[in-house]
Amino acid sequence: MAGESVITEELNSLLNVEFGPEVYEIEKGMLKRFAEAIDDPNPKWLEEAPPTFAAALVPHELLHKLFNIDIPLKRLLNGSSDLEYLQPIKAGDVISVTSKLTRLRQVPGAEGPTLFMFTEMTYTNQRGEVVIKGKNTYIKY
C-alpha cells in the first residue's frame, strides 16, 4: 500500500470543476519578451506566439488552489506538458483560458508518497476558435 492517502476531500472536490476563463490580450511586447526569455531569435515570434507560449497564459485560479492546498506534500515539480496546436496565436488576439483538474494519482516513492495532478487547459481566441488544447501534470512530493 502507498500508506495514508494525501488526497484530501478538498483536493478531490476540485476534480472536473472548470475554472476560468482567464483572459489574456496578446500584445507584441509580450511576445517579444517571451521570445527573448526562451532565447529563440526567429523573427516569426514577433507576430506569432512560439510553441511553448501557452506557459505564459497561466490558469492562475486552478494552479493557485493546486499549489497551495493544505496537504502534507509541500514540494512541487512540473511533470509533463502536452500541447496540440489548432490555430496560431497572433499579436492582437484575445485568448481565454479555461482549466480543470482531471485526475489525481498517488504512488509510493523512495522518500514517501508522490502525488500526480493531471490538468487540462483550453485556449480559445476572440473568434471562439480553440487555438490550443493543453495538458500538464504537476508532481507534489
Which amino acid is it at 13? Answer: S
**Cα torsion for 42, 86, 97, 65, to the nearest 10°?**
-90
Say which residue the cell 511576445 belongs to. 31
Residue 40 CB, nearest distance to another protein (Å)? Answer: 4
Angular region, 112: left φ>0, alpha ψ -120 to 50, beta rest: left
25 binds another protein (CB under 8 A): no
Residue 51 CB, nearest distance to another protein (Å)? Answer: 4
What's the angle, vertex CA 127, arms to CA 122 and CA 132, rounded to 5?
A: 25
Cα torsion angle, 28, 53, 95, 57, sign: negative
Number of residues that bind another protein (CB under 8 A): 28
Span from 14-22, 53-61, 91-99, 101-109 in contact with another protein (CB under 8 A) = 53-61
110 binds another protein (CB under 8 A): no
118 binds another protein (CB under 8 A): no
C-alpha Rg value of the chain to the nearest Å:
17
Span from 8-16, 36-44, 100-108, 118-126 in contact with another protein (CB under 8 A) = 36-44
* Contacts to another protein by CB under 8 A: 30, 33-34, 36-40, 42, 44, 50-52, 55-56, 58, 75-85, 135
